Amino acid sequence: MKEESIEIEGSIQSVLPGTMFRVELDNKHLVLATISGKMRKRWVRLTVGDRVKMEMSPYDMDKARIIWRLKDEPRPENQI
């Protein structure tokens, strides 16, 4: 039976060689992430500051696979 993966969001902090990225999660935890095969096939470009969705194994919380690049939401000017 296949184990369930954990989906989590984060922000790219640095680009490393070999399509590896250092990603900071919302709780300030840093993980080492790589691009999924579909993103490599479609030539999706990732840069510092991009928000991404990742999947992680419940057994190793220091590594992840980037599965989606999230769109930047425009922030409203007059938010109360």
Closest CA to 14 of 36, 47, 41: 47
Question: For the segment 29-63, what is each residue's pLDDT rounded down to a tens digit?
Answer: 999 999 999 999 999 999 999 999 999 999 999 99
Contact present, 36 and 66 (Cβ < 8 Å): yes
pLDDT at 56: 95
The overall pTM is greater than 0.85: no
Domain 6-69 homologous superfamily, CATH: Nucleic acid-binding proteins (2.40.50.140)
Q: How far is CA 33 from the centre of its chain?
A: 7
Stated as kind and residue range, the H or E segment containing 74 is: none
- Confidence class of residue 71 from pLDDT cuts 50, 70 and 90? confident
Distance between CA atoms of residues 41 and 37, nearest Å: 6
φ, ψ at 20 (rounded to 5°): -110, 150
